[in-house]
Structure 1
Amino acid sequence: MGQIDSFLFIFLCLLGYVELAKGGSGLACNWGMQSTHPLPPGIVVRLLKDNGFSKVKLFEADPGALKALGRSGIQVMVGIPNYMLASLASAVGNAEAWVQQNVSNYISNHGTYIRSVAVGNEPFLRDYKDQFVNTIFPALENIQAALVKAGLGKQVKATIPINADVYQTDSGLPSGGYFRPELQNLMMNIIKFLQDNGGFLTINIYPFLSMKADPSFPREYAFFNNTAKPVVDGSIVYTNVYDANFDTLISALEKNGFGHMPVVIGEVGWPTDGDASANVDNAKRFNQALLDRIVQGLGSPRRRTPPDVYIFSLIDEDHKSTLPGNFERHWGILKYDGGIKYPLDMGNGRAVVPAKGVKYLAKQWCVMSPSTGGVSDPNTLAQSITYACENGDCTSLGYGSSCGNLDSQSNASYAFNTYFQTMNQSKGACNFNNLAVITTVDPTKPPCRFEIMIDTRKQKKAASPPTVYRSSAAKIQRIFAALILGLVICGVH
């Protein structure tokens, strides 16, 4: 990295520190991109800044997102998908090529403030049946070696986001935490390697999933402000599963000599649709209390120092797999288009801000034709709805969802419209064996909304976010003393 780019990186570090010193909330979130009609990256970056997010985690090295984040001052954790682990583990040269293309390139050429690399994502999930057990550590080692070779070993840290099922407790108390026996040695090797290289461990915690997986789970215990019976663990009292889960990991680390290992919460949130407990009221209740904790700088009973917490997620993703559940597409604190789902205080009384400058398709919808009556062939209707839902997002028609109480004709209309919008309202996308027609009258029936998609065909390239710093010798001289301070600040994660 050249001299000017090095100064730019340090300045961005310093800028982030100054913003926090002014009272910024230092919020962090995940930016997922599995959408049929994604928001333009420039609009998302503006959305992040407007809502006080100073850190963002990407699940892959998306070029549009990494360019748009350039010179924004937002810290970036860039992810490596699990399918790439085998290649990265097989040869350090593959890791070097990945780092050059996806880290060095964006730091040097775009001023993107990349501070960490997430190697894989929850690679030890039991559902993967040990698919990534033999490749995750070698991939981590090679990425770290590549970062060092690129001269980024000190400023960009490696991590592995893990799921909470890598540790457990037989007593049901956080103090009894230990790593799964079959993963014990591997986890020790990973954690020691991360610690030796100044990295950190990342854990994903989902109270919603804890509640959903166990019918006997005390529902109130999933929330922060609750009426649940506390769990008493010696001298510590736990009032919610989030703290108990986190401290189970801390206990496991302490027992293995890693009591001071830095830990980041990589994902935590609550969905708004697709399940009886996934609704706006529960999501608002959970996420508002979570935001309050982050802004107040609260840690857990066992580790008072607050960790970085990445909220999952910024916006809905209508193209995610629903195999884990229909709720998977609705984790966003904002709608797919950056619209507000429910009011949130983002800190210091700042209300959540919607996306600006979004362009939509025409105001028209595809609905079941009123002239079809009862439909002479129910099988034809059923097949049409199935086809529409296989190619569109019918998540909201599920039990407990916002559209779960529609009548049969409205159900069909909702399904037809999801397909019509997904296909960019193209000619012939609203036929369904002559059962459907296009209308300009909004068929929305609150709280069920018949969406119109973002126009990704016509939308002009979004303007780049404001440049926080343009390098010049004069500016560097004026802030040289401040940059020295920045070196110290950025050396601490």
Structure 2
Amino acid sequence: MGRRQYLLCFFFLCLISSDQGLVKGVVGLACNWGTQSTHPLEANIAVKLLKDNGFNKVKLFEADPAALKALGKSGIQVMVGIPNEFLAPLASSVQVAVNWVQRNVSSYISRYGTDIRYVAVGNEPFLQTFKDTFLNTTFPALQNIQAALIKAGLGRQVKVTVPLNADVYQTDSGLPSGGNFRSDIHGLMISIIKFLSDNNAPLTINIYPFLSLYADPHFPVDYAFFNGTSAPVVDGSISYTNVFEANFDTLISALEKNGFSSMPVIVGEVGWPTDGDRSANINYARRFNQALVDRINRGQGTPKRKTPTDIYLFALADEDAKSVRPGNFERHWGIFYYDGAIKYQLDMGNGKALVPAKGVRYLARQWCVMSPEASLSDPNLPNSIAYACSYADCTSLGYGSSCGTLDARSNASYAFNMYYQTVDQRNGACSFSNLSTLTKVDPSQNTCRFEIMMDLGKHETPPRRSFAGRKENPAAMMAFISALILIICGAY
């Protein structure tokens, strides 16, 4: 072998072994795993679900003990998140950060063999709707976590990042080439990016083409998808045929303008919901996510970044305890239902289809429905529906959603059943002022699925979040429930 051939082979081997290498970057798939559910998948079942479907990278939104233990020696690389409410204490003291890293990173790496690669400091902390709440704590928290990782001897193994919403950059020209960071946070963004760059850490950005369609009824539908036919957006010599590439390259232009043209970027969240809005449906989700998986498997970049990047699909499974403040669709991003059942089929690469979760056990096969003898004009009906939907997820009943075409009686039955299932079919839970009864006949209709929840008593699970304890916008929730009552009790 000649010297030149040897050097070429050596260079190729370095690419394969490098974390940033082109070859390793396109092997396997990445996914977000959230746990804001009244009935979360048992951690070992969820990890098996990830592995069975080819996911070798996962992002957690918090250091969930059960998840981190189950991921130990799984062969899955982990990004562990720090919720925004922890930013202030972490920013106040390096010791707080040292304690956090020891408790949530070092211990899982050493005791369980969990392959933690990233710590995500905060989650979209500069979102404009947060009104600067985390503006002064995000960067100090990031610096302290980095210092804590170095002190723990993990500075090279575990990298820090900050998952940001795409609203941190904009373009005045309407074209990707005009991209720059928001003027109100420009200086802060440059400081954070320089810090990440100095520590060989990536920037993480969340991109949601669905939200472009959700926010603007005149947005060209096809432009939200990768295989759309809309007229391209022409930006100099580049033609953009989909909003994902245009959005991502707007960020790349912003980085280039500010001297960070080679800054590594991770797409932390991208996906499509299946319910809770007329544009959130199974057909659109299948169309978007199949094209997304295809381009990941091809190792396809964007016009300005040919090198593929890590892309974390959002999300593994539905989460019925998430806030509906952004929209009712928030609880329906999963490529699987809450229990790991398949919503729609995808080719995950090499002709491999999605595989459902294994080992899931369910409560008794019975549903709580509106009694045939009950009247829609019963004065107790509105309060009963309001009570049920205050403690259970009724977002599938909204306009354009999977259960949006039910008649009034079926709407009430759906609300009653969701409450009954959410409280684990508790004795007396199907008792709404003599308006309800139990049935063993599945009341599901067409696209509307009447759930039976998993039996959490059959396996060890992390503590469940109660709806009462969830951070929620009370006004938004009450408005939603009031709208549901008008839909369900339309006879009034």
TM-score by length of 1: 0.88
Matches within 5 A, 1:261-410: 261-372=263-374, 374-377=375-378, 379-410=379-410
Question: Does the 8 Å CA contact 2:26/2:308 hold for their aligned counterparts?
Answer: no
Matched, 1:173 2:178: no
Opposite residue 158 of structure 2, the aligned amino acid is V
Q: Deviations over 1:100-122 (max 9, x none)?
A: 00000000000000000000010
Seen in structure 2, the aligned counterparts of structure 1 residues 77 and 401 have a Cα distance that, compared at 3 Å, is same
Q: Does 1:452 align with 2:452?
A: yes
After superposition, residues 65-76 of structure 1 pair within 5 angstroms as 65-76=67-78
TM-fit CA distance, 1:178: 0.4
Q: Considering Cα pairs closer than 8 Å and 6+ residues apart, tell me whether 1 or 2 has the greater RCO.
A: 1
Query: 2:40 aligned to 38, 42, 54, which one?
Result: 38
Task: Sort the Cα spacing of 1:428 and 1:241 in 2 relative to 1 into closer, same or farther, 3 A.
Answer: same
* Structure 2 residue identity aligned to 1:457: G
Q: Which amino acid aligns with 2:147?
A: A
1:215 Cα offset (Å): 2.7
Residues 50, 56 of structure 2: 8 Å contact kept: yes
Contact in 2 for aligned 1:276/1:401 (Cα 8 Å):
yes
Indicate the SS of the match to 1:283.
helix
Counterpart contact for 1:16–1:54, Cα < 8 Å: no
Question: C-alpha separation between the residues in 1 aligned to 2:352 and 2:209?
Answer: 26
In structure 2, what is the Cα distance between the partners aligned to 1:16 and 1:252?
25
- Count of aligned positions: 446
Partner of 1:232: 234
* Structure 1 counterpart SS, 2:457: coil
CA distance in 2, matches of 1:37, 1:212: 28
In the superposition, relative to structure 1, how do residues 279 and 71 fare at CA in structure 2: closer, same or farther (>3 Å)? same
Matches of 2:382 and 2:395, distance apart in 1:
16
Query: Is the contact made by 2:271 and 2:313 (CA closer than 8 Å) also made in structure 1?
Result: yes
1:137 aligns with 2:139: yes
How far does the alpha carbon of each residue in 1:165-185 deviate from its partner, in whole angstroms, 9 at most, with x for none?
Answer: 010001110000000111111
For the residue of structure 2 that corresponds to 1:457, the secondary structure is helix
How many Å separate the matches in 1 of 2:414 and 2:258? Answer: 53
Pick from 24, 27, 30 the counterpart of residue 29 of structure 2: 27
Alignment-derived partner of residue 82 in structure 2:
80
SS at match of 2:212: helix
Kindly provide the amino acid, as one letter, of the partner of residue 459 in structure 2: Q
Structure 2 unaligned blocks of 5 or more:
1-15, 463-492
Secondary structure class of the residue paired with 1:225: coil
Cα distance in 2 for partners of 1:17, 1:338 equals 31
Aligned partners of 1:176, 1:16: CA distance in 2, in Å? 31
- Return the letter of the residue paired with 1:274: G
Runs of 4+ that moved beyond 6 A: 13-18
Shift in Å, 1:30: 0.2
Q: Give the counterpart of 1:100 among 102, 117, 130.
A: 102
The one-letter code sitting in structure 2 at the alignment partner of 1:302 is K
Out of 225, 237, 247, the position equivalent to 1:245 is 247
Partner Cα distance (1:188, 1:259) in 2 = 13
> Which letter maps to 2:63?
A
Q: Between 379-388 and 32-41, report the one with greater CA deviation.
A: 379-388
Which one of 185, 203, 206 corresponds to residue 183 of structure 1? 185
Q: Quick check: 1:340–1:352 contact (8 Å CA) kept in 2?
A: yes
The alpha-carbon deviation at position 214 of structure 1 amounts to: 2.0
Cα contact 2:32–2:269 (8 A) shared by 1 = yes
State the identity %.
69
Task: For residue 460 of structure 1, report the CA deviation from its aligned partner.
Answer: 5.5
C-alpha separation in 2, matches of 1:187 and 1:398? 38
1-structure distance, mates of 2:377, 2:120: 55
Alpha-carbon deviation of 1:216?
2.6
User: Structure 1 residue 458: deviation in Å?
Assistant: 2.9
Cα drift, residue 459 of structure 1: 2.7
Report the alpha carbon displacement of residue 25 of structure 1 after superposing the two structures with TM.
4.3
- Which residue of 1 is the match for residue 441 of structure 2? 441
Local SS of the residue matching 1:371: coil
Aligned amino acid, residue 440 of structure 1: K
Q: Secondary structure at the match of 1:293?
A: helix
